């Protein structure tokens, strides 16, 4: 049993609140993705080390990689934690999930638990591949080089998500090019349940390069769901569904369920 009094930081209300919020989220996650008590205690202890400015993210978690305004670390064999910078628009990311639930397409999005960090930590900086501060112009060589003074963007949120299976990597140029004839010639998307063929214009609404994954969305969820999702993509300008932002979860029946793991298009 975790005793939260062991982790509270004296005279640091915001930091203690961050730890309490993280712990509550972790227990919520554990209801769907079990975490044994020893691992739970280690994770909370590690997070407290970061909140106490005694450790960096990489000191306590194994780093997996980084994207635009996020760094991803291993939490357990089944879970990852992503620290998001202030540039990430995390509240908008969470809002999209609520809208997807209203539209009846929430299963298409990777389950995510959001923890907003109120306290500031110099050690909690996100090295983002989209951060302009990482580069500086070298006038001697007339090119951009790594900025030695760049130390990252402040992280103001943590996201916990289940690990996913990555896509096959098979791309189809038919959905990359605005060419109706290429789409028809390369076997258009077809619902296996009803035989309905998806028209090119609707397929294009997804703005996606992986036609195989898109076909599996149709296979798994059906044509009606596909139509609702296509409209949602267009309505919310979700045009960044490249291969690093899509994948699969294993469902209760052992089938691969297509999901979007990063749905907020970059600006």
Its sign, for the CA torsion 17, 19, 20, 21, is: positive
Decide if pLDDT at 221 tops 90.
yes
For residue 198, report the phi and psi dihedrals to the nearest 5 degrees. -85, 125
Taking only the tens place, the pLDDT of each residue in 227-252 is 999 999 889 888 777 778 889 998 88
Burial of 226 (0-12, 13-18, 19+ CB in 10 A): buried
Phi-psi map region of 262: left, alpha, beta (phi>0 left; psi -120 to 50 alpha): beta
From the list 170, 129, 155, 203, the residue with the least C-alpha distance to 50 is: 155
Q: Are 154 and 85 in contact (CB under 8 A)?
A: yes
Residue ranges covered by each domain of the chain: 4-163, 166-260
DSSP, collapsed to helix, strand or coil, labels residue 199 as coil
Taking only the tens place, the pLDDT of each residue in 107-152 is 999 999 999 988 766 556 665 554 445 555 566 655 555 555 544 5
Decide if pLDDT at 226 tops 60.
yes
The H-or-E segment that residue 257 falls in is strand 256-260
Taking only the tens place, the pLDDT of each residue in 34-56 is 999 999 999 999 999 988 888 88
Q: Which residue has 């289940």 as its token pair? A: 162
- Report pTM: 0.79
DSSP, collapsed to helix, strand or coil, labels residue 73 as strand
**More confident of the two residues 175 and 67:** 67
Tokens for 177? 């090019």
Section 65-91 average pLDDT: 87
Give CA–CA dist 77/36, Å, rounded. 12
Give CA–CA dist 206/182, Å, rounded. 17
Decide if pLDDT at 181 tops 80.
no
Q: Which residue has 């963007």 as its token pair? A: 153
* Strand pairing category for 165-166 and 125-126: unpaired
């Amino acid at each position: 049993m975790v005793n939260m009094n062991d982790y509270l930081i004296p005279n640091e209300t915001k930091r203690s609140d961050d730890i309490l919020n993280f712990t509550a989220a972790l227990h919520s996650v554990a209801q769907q993705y079990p975490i044994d008590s020893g691992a739970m205690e280690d994770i909370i202890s590690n997070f407290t080390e970061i909140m106490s400015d005694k450790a960096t993210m990489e000191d306590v978690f194994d780093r997996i990689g980084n994207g635009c305004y996020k760094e991803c670390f291993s939490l357990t064999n089944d879970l990852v934690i992503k620290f998001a910078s202030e540039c990430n628009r995390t509240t908008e990311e969470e809002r999209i999930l609520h809208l997807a639930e209203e539209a009846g397409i929430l299963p298409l999005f990777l389950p995510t638990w959001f923890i907003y960090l109120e306290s500031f930590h110099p050690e909690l900086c996100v090295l983002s591949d989209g951060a302009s501060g990482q580069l500086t112009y070298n006038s001697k060589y007339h090119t951009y080089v790594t900025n030695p003074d760049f130390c990252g963007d402040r992280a103001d949120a943590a996201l916990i998500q289940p690990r996913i299976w990555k896509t096959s990597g098979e791309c189809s140029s038919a959905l990359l090019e605005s060419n109706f004839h290429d789409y028809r010639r390369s076997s258009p998307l077809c619902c296996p349940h009803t035989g309905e063929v998806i028209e090119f214009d609707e397929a294009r609404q997804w703005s996606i390069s992986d036609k195989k994954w898109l076909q599996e969305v149709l296979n798994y969820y059906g044509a009606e769901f596909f139509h609702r999702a296509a409209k949602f993509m267009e309505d919310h300008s979700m045009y960044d569904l490249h291969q690093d932002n899509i994948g699969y979860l294993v469902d209760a029946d052992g089938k691969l369920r297509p999901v979007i793991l990063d749905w907020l298009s970059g600006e």
